[in-house]
Amino acid sequence: FTNIINALQALDKVYSNSEMVRKILRCLPRSWMPKVTAIEETKNLNVLALEDLLGSLMTHELSMQKKDDDEEKEKKKKKIVALKSSQTEDSDDDDDDHEL
């Protein structure tokens, strides 16, 4: 994003901080909508610094990643191991028990 913005500035197309913040929020995937809504409702997008937005999004991404990793570990722990049992008849042992 920064590379594109810098290239556009070289072509005399300048975006305000507010425009860049809004563009980033609009391009996030659907799974990020709760976070986008929270940012839009709690922050003034006209004064929110791009660096602050990126820091908040990166923190959110790390916490989602940690939660996914924790859930994956829990799934692995909950796997059930089933053992197959078999019975064999040993006629010698049975005969010995009856003789005593």
Is pTM beyond 0.75 here?
Answer: no
What the block records as the tokens of 37 is 């809504």
Kindly state whether residue 5 falls inside one of the protein's structural domains: yes
DSSP state of 45: T
Which of 39, 3, 34, 4 is CA-nearest to residue 22?
A: 39
Amino acid letter for position 11: L
Contact 21, 53 (CB under 8 A): yes
Q: pLDDT digit string (tens) for 7-63?
A: 998 999 999 999 999 999 999 999 999 999 999 999 999 999 999 999 999 999 999
Contact 50, 39 (CB under 8 A): no
Kindly state whether residue 40 falls inside one of the protein's structural domains: yes
Question: What's the domain count of the chain?
Answer: 1
Confidence of residue 76 (pLDDT cuts 50, 70, 90): confident
- The residue range of the domain holding 47 is 1-67
- Residue 53 DSSP SS3: helix
Average pLDDT over residues 79-95: 63
